[in-house]
Amino acid sequence: MRIVVGVDSEGAYERALAWIDALGFESPHLILTSVIEPPRPPVVGVVAPFPDEAFADTLAAQQSAAREQLDALCEQARAHGAIAESVTLIGRASAKLLELADAREADLIALGGTSKGAVEAFFVGSVARAALTNARQSLLIAHTPPDPETPLNAVVATDHSEYNYRCLDLLLQFAPRRLQRIAITTAFDLDEETLEVLTRHAPAVQQSGTDWIIEQLHERNRQVCERLRPLQAACESLVVEGLPIPSLREAMRETQSQLLILGAKGHSLIERLSLGSISYHFAVGERQNLLILRASEA
């Protein structure tokens, strides 16, 4: 499993590496990557111009420091049993990191979050936006490190679509074998009028109201649990009636989960999200640790 890890200057990458280690992915091959954006020359007439040598020296110093940092991180990763290599690139971070992920046929891009808010919370800011809207790879976005004193529980959101099932198969390939408990979670929001239309020709079902729907969703969730049995984690079904975003937030709280796992697809911002705008909302608007799965197109 090839994982491109964005190594930033603020140390946010440490949270991403902590999650990679904690999840115990199958045969991780880490590509630790630092992207150096060349210093921009000052505007002539506003700030006194510097000679080209000054910018060249600055760039060389940044490259040297990045290589030294990456070498140390590679040693640490190898000590934890991972294959690790380092890559130093020059250019626009948001483009270079995604280009590298494609060139190396990476399975996952791992980014760290900071204490800042919204989009600024991610490694080099624009990198996360580019990854959310353009990357073909799955994404690991780590805002906080895993708590070693708390069970490693995760909420897996499913809409029971064919694509979502392929995302679950991808999760099996990644094989995060250190998850202790998984809550397969489905949220639905159904008004009385829609329920009446759906059950118009089934009076018995209509009388049971949403209870029948909830039981059907529990059954599907239990089938997903069977599908994920190879992960060897305890698995439970959670069905929540309500809007998806607050429902998933409540599921995270109720199950004391540290990780939210979602599926996403497509090429445009809207098409990429198999659960509507849910993946994007949690990625840019909240501080949940996320594993966003992207299965290949059928």
- CATH code of the domain containing 280: 3.40.50.620
Of residues 50 and 230, more confidence is placed in: 230
Pair of tokens at residue 250: 């409540």
Residues 293 and 157 in one domain: yes
Residues 194 and 208 in one domain: yes
Strand order in the sheet with 259-263: 83-90, 29-36, 2-6, 108-112, 138-142, 290-293, 259-263, 153-157, 181-188, 234-241
Of residues 59 and 84, more confidence is placed in: 84
- The sign one gets for the Cα dihedral 211, 213, 216, 220 is negative
Q: Could you tell me the residue range of the domain that residue 9 belongs to?
A: 1-146
C-alpha distances in angstroms, 50 versus 39, 43, 71, 147? 11, 10, 32, 47
- Could you tell me which of 117, 143, 122 has the C-alpha nearest to residue 133? 122
Across the range 5-21, mean pLDDT stands at 91
Range 277-282 contact pairs with CB under 8 angstroms and sequence separation of 24 or more: 278/157, 278/244, 278/245, 278/248, 279/132, 280/132, 281/245, 282/245, 282/248
Domain boundary among 146, 173, 191: 146
Q: Which residues contact 290 (CB under 8 A, 6 or more apart)?
A: 139, 140, 141, 259, 260, 261, 262, 279, 282, 283
Residues 141 and 193 in one domain: no
Of residues 188 and 277, more confidence is placed in: 188
Residues 133 and 158 in one domain: no
**72-90 b/e with 16+ CB inside 10 Å = b?**
ebbeebeeeebebebbbbe
Indicate if the pLDDT at residue 291 is higher than 90: yes
Residues 193 and 133 in one domain: no
> Cβ distance 251 to 240 under 8 Å?
yes
Domain boundary among 146, 178, 195: 146
The count of C-alpha atoms lying within 13 angstroms of the C-alpha of 85, restricted to the half-sphere facing its C-beta, is 8
Of residues 88 and 121, more confidence is placed in: 88
- Structurally, the chain folds into a number of domains equal to 2
Domain boundary among 146, 180, 215: 146
pLDDT on residue 273: 38
Residues 184 and 91 in one domain: no
Residues 188 and 72 in one domain: no
> Which range, of 5-19, 87-101, 200-214, 271-285, averages the lowest pLDDT?
271-285
What predicted TM-score, i.e. pTM, was given to this entire model?
0.85
Across the range 40-69, mean pLDDT stands at 72
Dist. CA 283–CA 280, nearest whole Å? 5
Residues 177 and 37 in one domain: no
Residues 6 and 141 in one domain: yes
Query: φ and ψ at 74, to 5 degrees?
Result: -60, -45
Residues 142 and 155 in one domain: no
> Cβ distance 260 to 288 under 8 Å?
yes
Element (DSSP H or E) covering residue 239? strand 234-241
How many of the other CB atoms lie within 10 Å of CB of 115? 11
pLDDT in tens, 234-262: 999 999 988 888 999 999 999 999 999 99
Residues 8 and 134 in one domain: yes
Residues 230 and 290 in one domain: yes
How many of the other CB atoms lie within 10 Å of CB of 193? 8
- Could you tell me which of 139, 169, 153, 174 has the C-alpha nearest to residue 6? 139
Indicate if the pLDDT at residue 229 is higher than 50: yes
Q: Which residues contact 126 (CB under 8 A, 6 or more apart)?
A: 92, 93, 94
Across the range 279-297, mean pLDDT stands at 82
